[in-house]
Structure 1
Amino acid sequence: MVTGISILGLWGERNYRLKFIEGSLILVGENGCGKTTVLRILYFILARNWPMLMEEDFDIIELESDDKTSCSISTLDLQEMKNYLINVRDLSDDLPMSALREVVTYCGKLATPEKLIECFNMLGFSPELVSRVSSNFEIKSDMLPTSIQKANDWINKHNTGPIIYLPTYRRSERYQQRLEGKIRRHRVYDNIITDIEVVKEGMSDVDETIKQKISEIKKEYAKSSSEVNIKCFKGILTREYENVKALADDYLEPDTISIIFNSVSGNDVFIDNIDQLKKKLLQLLSKNSQYDEYDKIVIYFYQMLVDRFEYLKKLKNL
């Protein structure tokens, strides 16, 4: 398992040595210090996406593993790959224009033969087409630099799981459009191993999760409001309100009462009456234990609003 990554000479001026703690890595830093770039580089190298890694500005990348071995890739190693890479647009004689556009969207303008074959299979090209086009790749087989082959072997051995990459919310980054294409075209085929298992566009997955959570909270608001009405009606009928207990001091504060009242309804019409209701409730609560039957019913209902408020507060924090 990969346990650390060092990026030396990032932008010609920065060196980062990062360790994974129990399989996790958290990056914290000011804007512009390279957090997104580090994540991007980590993704490109683990996915062995050498053409995209070539576009990054660094000197050397070193990976470490739990078996105390390591591998390194330099910009010079990547430059030696140029003869191994295939210009996708050179396949125009073998692929229909529509298919060529799909391949460019997925792989970019430059790609390794392995990546292209993987792409053909993912996009559902016929075996005959894949065989015909890939036959032209054989001449490239001896052009892969030894250093890159060693890195391929090392990463295959130490990173056997899928690569899940969630790009940060920067729509203007140059590779974003390519990722969007992968999302639209990603398919799963039996016995096809792909470098990218899941790709999410920007923060769309987070947006959907937030919307879902808000929807759940709204449903609980409506449900809990109905339950308060039913429980209160039951409590009055069965005279449970006669056993009402003193409220905690926190719930007797004017500001707290306002918050609890606001949790019942977000309508402005209701808010207009809060001060009047709060004043009457505080007068009633000031009697301490000298409550008459009316007082007990009011306090009983207020206690239910308090319980509902605490329940919803916990729900929001989940």
Structure 2
Amino acid sequence: MENQINLTCFEIEGLNNEKNVSLTFDNNLRILLGENGTGKTTILTLLYYVLSRKFHNLYNIEFSKIHLKLSTNQTITLDKEWFTLEGNENAYKYYKYIEEELTKEELDYALEIVYGNGTMEQFKTNFLHKLRVRNVSMMRIRRYITELKTILRENNSDRYSEDILKVDKQIKEIFNKEILYFPTYRRIEDDLSKLGISLNDDNISEKYGIINFGMNDVQEIFDGIKNDIKDESLTSYSNVTGNMIKHLIYPNKKQNLLEFDNAILENKELLEIVLDRFGKDLNKEDKRYIFSLINTDDIFKDEYKSLNFYLKNLIRNYMGYKKRDDSIKEFARICTKYLVNKEVVFNEGNGEISILNLKKNKIELNHLSSGEKQIVSILAQVFLNFNDDFIILFDEPELSLSIEWQEMLLPDIIDTGKCSLLLAVTHSPFIFDNKLDSYAKGIEMFIEEINI
């Protein structure tokens, strides 16, 4: 994996007042092997909180310092003293009040007001409507934030604001990638059930900063892609039609058609996709006639110059979306490797993504097995967010997956070329029974027990 700046080591001093952790990375990749109860999930979670700059979550975890060591020999350090409310019960009380009422995004900004340069005016602009929908009092939130800020100032606890903002800026600049954080489905259920919350509740992913393995989320992605393709097609046809009109009304400014002569011949497959997106406005007979003109080179005759111009502009417009479509096709190809007697199909004409059985009947996402659901959800997040690169943090990716699937999953993700940093924690040897074997190490190699 290539990346301009690599994370070479993630260090935690005094974790739970019991151990020091010095987790090294090779080429921004590490697979951490350990039994349940060895602390591997805590390490993963802390890395997520730090890289995502969700520093308020550090209040409740015991450590003294955290270090991010980079390939540039730079070290970014966070001190627990910056985030502690220990010995200040009133401050902690108001922090918990705020945490209980706000989503992750809202809480992040509220703490910017407390520690940084955020303002209540901007908070109100950003979140007032959302608070009203949830019947959360803006006046009450304002009071909590003000009280917390006042208490910290009186106790000189806000003296670290500048340090926090400096580290926040450094991490944001260096690790400016989307983070895909996959906690175990079981752990999500356990953590939320303790709070009396169901995974079916609205806004769970937003509030708790997790990736929910629910199929409703995946279906929303599928539907969004279909709608985007429909809208893009309309926009493309409008643009091409506008160019065509200019082409006709300004004959002396016509483009040099010979310059594009090979565009249609070299991109017949793309043209077929574009024409399919006309839907019922262009029937099969019309399409067959167009391709007969192309196959016989009649498309280059003077009488078809306008059609030639129009088709080549359609292809040129489509090229702006080809990278996205290629990613969707790769999602379908990779997903199909895992599904049993099923295939994922991307209809490039109408943008629909479907799962079909051997009889070509459509299968609803909720009818997949638990392992299939997990695979589809993970790969949808990886392939269908269309980012050039991202950071992936995996907690026990092996759960619900067969041995064969465990061996395939991480290499398939790495092979996308989009993963700029990956940490997976596991207790299954099959997760790295592949080309990633050299990146897998036991957790005991990175932990030093301490006596206090």
For Structure 1 versus Structure 2, the TM-score category normalised by the shorter chain is 0.3 to 0.5
TM-score (norm 2): 0.35
TM-score (norm 1): 0.46
Q: Highest relative contact order (Cα 8 Å, sep 6+), 1 or 2?
A: 2
Larger Rg computed on CA atoms = 1
